[in-house]
Amino acid sequence: MKIDSTSFGEIVIDGRTYFSDVTVYSDGTIEHREKDMVIDMQEMSRILKKKVDIIVIGTGQEGTLELTDKVRDLLADMKIKVFELKSPDAIELFNSFMSQGRKAVAVIQTMG
């Protein structure tokens, strides 16, 4: 599993192009996510069902995706490492974690 690239409105994962925001899990699962500028508790609850250690947030090409304060507090309480970077940088970090065999998830916004 490798995220190849991202640009405004699209992301390429293992050679396949997606025209939506995505959540990518270390087990190879890829989920489309609604075009929303906030990651709330409902979305994070779905993500945490996969038992991840690291969450990489690709905040978009211009950095507009955010976590709610409740999500930040929950992740801090659970001692889950969270990295928030613009999407091109986030995919590089996620790929690095994948090459190390880490249990990571990437939430990548392709717009904004």
Question: What residues have CB less than 8 Å from 104, skipping those under 6 apart?
Answer: 26, 52, 53, 54, 55, 56, 94, 97, 98
Mean pLDDT of 31-49: 93
Model pLDDT for residues 72-102, shown as the tens digit of each residue: 999 999 999 999 999 999 999 999 999 999 9
Name the CATH superfamily for 3-108.
Answer: MTH938-like (3.40.1230.10)
Please report the pLDDT score of residue 32 as a whole number: 95
Domain residue ranges of the chain, discontinuous segments joined by +: 3-108
Banded pLDDT at 34 (limits 50, 70, 90): confident
